[in-house]
Copies of this chain bind each other. A is one copy, B any other.
Amino acid sequence: MPHLVIETTANLGTYPKAQALKELAASLTAHPQIPVEADLKIRFVDVTDFVMGTAPEPRGFVHAELRLLSGRTPEAKSELAARVLEVLQRLTPRPAGVSVQLSVEVRDMDRAPYAKARIDPQ
């Protein structure tokens, strides 16, 4: 049930979301800790009203939050974060004059109360 949410600020220009979604899905599901490809859910969120610090220089960010059911090892978490960062770093546009920060958080989801269901296609 990994969830990945990626925020991108509006000043980065047209983000190649479709390509990023495809490459992130391929890279993450190739990791042994994400054995069921269908369980991985990745989405983008547009950030339009934001500020970074207090200096007037143009800044943008891409921030990813990867949520995993509790129990993964610290090594697996770091590896998965590195895979996310690699794709984002490669695909993030580089608008002239803008300083861009990329970050990836890995967050545990409590396994015990996690509930799920499936609606099969009709």
Give the interface of A toward B (CB within 8 A).
1, 3, 7, 9, 17-18, 21-22, 24-26, 29, 36-44, 47, 49-55, 57-59, 61, 63, 67, 74, 77-78, 80-82, 84-85, 89, 92, 94, 96-110, 112-122
> A98 contacts which chain B residues (CB < 8 A)?
121
A77 & B112 in contact (Cβ 8 Å cutoff): yes
B97 & A122 in contact (Cβ 8 Å cutoff): yes
B116 & A102 in contact (Cβ 8 Å cutoff): yes
A17 & B63 in contact (Cβ 8 Å cutoff): no
Q: Min CB distance, A80 to chain B, in Å? A: 8
> A105 contacts which chain B residues (CB < 8 A)?
67, 109-110, 113-114
